Chain A
Amino acid sequence: MLKDLLVISIGAIFIQNFVLVQFLGICPFLGVSKKVETGIGMGLAVVFVMACASAITWAVQQLLILFNIEYLQTIAFILVIAVLVQFVEMFLQKSIPSLYNSLGIYLPLITTNCAVLGVAIVNITRFGGMDFGFIKSVVYGATAGIGFTFAIVLFAGVRERLESSNIPGFLKGMPITLITAGLLSIAFMGFSGLSF
């Protein structure tokens, strides 16, 4: 059991990194990665939403199976995620207004962040439709979030360095950012050789 959890964690953070390998959640990855600080804030918000979403969607999925209406998955999961994001937004606005302001529009956009819905869907379809179980789902959700944080913080670090470097005019701004993201992604592809 413990070994499974470790494998799931390493897999979610490195080998199947949501942003850099599965290409989910690119929008905040490019949008909020200008500063390491906001990157961490965004990452932690996503960790929270992903972990909670995994737990709640697991329960919701059991209900859906019970009533034989699994085709409502997507809409039901989006509902759960939207509520969680609303909650995080309220919490941040109250307790960390500075972070709330710097995340701006990207905070409510976690709702439509495909990485979060991705986690929920992966949780119930892994291993040929066999489900993960509650604990594994939550661990997968949390570590997927950590993987997201890891990627965005790494990327923000690179972008902070880019700010002060001499970049050819035609590459300034988004072009160099996208190239950097691509290189980072290639680097992460190297983890796919990892095996236990």
Chain B
Amino acid sequence: MEILLPVLAIGGMGLIFGALLAIAAKIFAVEKDERLPLIEECLPGANCGGCGFAGCSAAAEAVVKGEAFANVCPVGGAESARKIAEIMGITAEETERQTAFVMCSGNSDTAKNKYDNNETIDCHTANRLGGGMKECRFGCLGFGSCVAKCKFGALSLQNGVAVVDREKCTNCGACMAECPRHIIKRVPYSAKTVVVCTSKDKGKDTRNACGVGCIGCGICAKNCEAQAITVEGNCASVDYTKCTGCGVCQEKCPRDVIRMLNGVPTI
């Protein structure tokens, strides 16, 4: 009896409260869009945040609300966009696949150092130590903070410069956000030519700092038949939509900063 009473009292209370809550749940039921779980299934579920939303389920919610398009997920790419579009009953705009690209090729052999660094540190720390050990203010620091951030194993350090494996890259943007120098950029997968430098320094300074830095001479722009290259702020850049991939710019570049992609080996 002594044990029965408390059990009955608490059990009875739980029962009554449970029943009340069940009724309240009916009254205050929130209608969830049935498409929501379906769309979540189409997304990779890595919650990488590459789309700009808090996670995959937040992205799915945005799609249902119409705040995001079917191609919300850069990681899932065209396939997830097609599936989501099917669920939502809209047509997916074909988006071009883009990948990250490290805009620096100043490796241990070509870029000069201000000081030697034997410590194992990350890029952020290195960036604060006198602005990095590289002479160049814009170059890759080569400590691989981006490599550590990449969930897909697409980044690696090669001779002191981070390099993106464009086959593995899912364009989630984690490395771009991580890089203290902001030299990882999105480049269309179909791009044929890339200027692998972002140095805005004057030609002479760039020449002193690095063997493969763009000095903004403009020879590439003058020789480009498609007029796809522009020089701005002492650095050339390629308009990927205009570039025909003829390769003249690469031949003419005195500093060897232009790389041919697709077919021709990178770096």
A contact residues vs B (CB 8 Å cutoff): 60, 63-64, 67, 69, 72, 75-76, 79-80, 83, 86-87, 90-91, 93-95, 97
Contacts and interface: CB of A to CB of B under 8 A. Distances in A.
Interface string B1-43: 0000110011001100100110011001110000000000000
B28 A90 contact: yes
B155 to A, nearest CB: 30
Contact of B9 (A72, A90, A91, A95): A72
A94 B30 contact: yes
A76 B30 contact: no
A196 B28 CA distance: 45
A69 B30 contact: no
A95 B27 CA distance: 11
A94 B17 contact: no
B24 A69 contact: no
Contacts of A69: 5-6, 9
Contacts of A72: 6, 9-10
B228 to A, nearest CB: 45
Contact of A93 (B10, B20, B21, B30): B30
B interface, how many residues as a size bin? 10 to 19
B9 A86 contact: no
Contacts of A86: 21, 24
Interface string B74-99: 00000000000000000000000000
B9 A83 contact: no
B17 A76 contact: no
Contacts, number: 41
A75 B28 CA distance: 27
B6 A94 contact: no
Contacts of B28: 90-91, 93-95
Given A60-B13, A79-B13, A87 B21 contact: yes
Nearest to A64: B9
A83 B14 CA distance: 9
A67 B13 CA distance: 14
Given A69-B5, A72-B10, A75-B10, A80 B30 contact: no
A178 B24 CA distance: 39
- Which 9 A-B pairs have CB atoms at the shortest separation, nearest pair first? A90-B28, A94-B28, A83-B17, A69-B6, A93-B30, A72-B6, A87-B24, A94-B30, A86-B21
Nearest to A83: B17
A67 B10 CA distance: 12
B9 A67 contact: yes
B14 A79 contact: yes
Contacts of B20: 83
Contacts of B13: 60, 76, 79-80
A120 B123 CA distance: 54
A122 to B, nearest CB: 21
A92 B76 CA distance: 34
Given A93-B30, A94-B30, A80 B17 contact: yes
Contacts of B9: 63-64, 67, 69, 72, 76
Given A69-B5, A93-B30, A94-B30, A76 B24 contact: no
A113 B86 CA distance: 46
Given A76-B9, A90-B21, A91-B24, 11 more contacts: A64-B9, A67-B5, A67-B9, A80-B13, A83-B17, A83-B20, A83-B21, A87-B24, A94-B30, A95-B28, A97-B30
Residue from the set A69, A80, A97 with the largest chain B CB neighbour count within 10 Å: A69
A90 B5 contact: no
A76 to B, nearest CB: 6
A90 B21 CA distance: 9
A64 to B, nearest CB: 7
A60 B13 CA distance: 9
A63 B13 CA distance: 11
Contacts of A95: 28
Query: Which of B14, B25, B28, B29 has most A Cβ within 10 Å?
Result: B28
